[in-house]
Amino acid sequence: MAVNIIDGKQLAEKIKADVRKQVDELAADGVKLKLAAVMVGEPPASMVYARSQAKHCENMGISYELVQLPADSNQIQIAQRIEQLNTDPDITGIMLHLPLPEGIDTPAVQYCINPFKDVEGVNPVNIGMVFYGEPIIAPCTALAAVETIRSTGMELRGTEAVVVGQSPVVGLPISVFLIQNFATVTACHIATVDLQAHTRKADLLIVAVGKAGLITADHVKPGAVIIDVGINRIKTTDADGNTVSKTVGDVDFDAVSKVASAITPVPGGVGPVTVAILLRNTVEAARKQLTATKKGK
Ligand code: NAP
């Protein structure tokens, strides 16, 4: 059976078309959306990401402001700037570019973002609400992985799922979403003794670690659905023998696509869906703020 290579770009386009419609509806009601992206220093990867984000927002009709702080900013200065954005009525969404400089406590900074403006869903309050099945704004990448699975039409109820990687903002909320959809979930992590013994039982395998080549064909049950969240830059050799950089996931795509029934490529899989979900969360955040204001919260 030919493998289904899940087209994340196509799914992202569908989500963005809906976002654009919702932004226009809100604009017709006089609600303008503005996303503030906080960056400390100028990490090169964040600068590239910020430029692409600005473009995505522009295409959606969402204003975008890059809020840059000096690289030597301390925890209190970053928190104070975020507090200004929290109380600025023109700002409807806030996100934080990572990594923050060494010595800054990232979760403590994320905790400063108003949960109703936290479009990445990384405030511990938002992550915590996922456990109750009532997120205000849910973590983007976890939502993107779940949307990607849904796009395959796979029935989650009763499915044997394995999630490799259990970070609080990616792997762990993915496991929780799957449990809430009545999948039977095994969580694998750095201390898992025999990873292959677990992954080979999975009808649905989600990998969110950040280690190229972690999952080989030997880890995969024939016919399984594979969602590769990992993003890694590796050095490889091109046809002319030159060393070049390449983006890959955690899964050995060529080998695993011969065994799996469906698989996400990297790039072009979960990544573009995450970008689209961030935009959808930006709309969701504005809607939640309106509802909260009406309720007088
Ligand atoms: P992270 O915070 O570094 O977490 C990685 C997780 O994998 C941790 O739970 C870690 O356990 C576990 N782990 C490490 N080595 C392992 C191994 N050999 N076997 C099993 N588990 C292992 O990273 P993250 O933020 O969750 O991101 C995970 C990956 O997703 C990264 O490659 C990141 O770039 C990518 N990502 C992709 C998107 C997207 O849109 N596609 C978005 C966000 C992140 P310990 O903590 O115990 O070491």
Instruction: Summarize pLDDT for 20-60 with one digit per residue, the tens.
Output: 999 999 999 999 999 999 999 999 989 999 999 999 999 99
Q: From the CB of 231, is ligand 1 less than 6 Å away? A: yes
Q: Over 70: is that where the pLDDT of 297 sits?
A: no
Check: pTM over 0.85? Answer yes or no: yes
pLDDT digits 0-9 by tens, 187-245:
999 999 999 999 999 999 999 999 999 999 999 999 999 999 999 999 999 999 999 99
- Strand locations in the chain (E): 4-5, 34-40, 63-69, 93-96, 160-164, 184-188, 204-207, 225-228, 232-237, 243-248, 262-263
Mean pLDDT of the chain: 96
Q: From the CB of 271, is ligand 1 less than 6 Å away? A: yes
Q: From the CB of 208, is ligand 1 less than 6 Å away? A: yes
Homologous superfamily (CATH) for 32-115:
Leucine Dehydrogenase, chain A, domain 1 (3.40.50.10860)
Which CATH code fits 140-271?
A: 3.40.50.720
The DSSP call for residue 70 is -
47 three-state secondary structure:
helix
Residue type, 211: K
Helices (H) and strands (E) in the chain, counts: 10, 11
Degrees, nearest 5: CA angle 225-189-144: 45
Mean pLDDT of 132-147: 96
Q: Which two tokens stand for residue 223?
A: 């016919």
96 three-state secondary structure:
strand
Domain boundaries, the chain: 32-115, 140-271
Q: Over 80: is that where the pLDDT of 296 sits?
A: no
140-271 and 32-115 share a CATH fold? yes
Cα 133 to ligand 1 centre (Å) = 23
Cα 165 to ligand 1 centre (Å) = 5
- Strand locations in 138-216 (E): 160-164, 184-188, 204-207
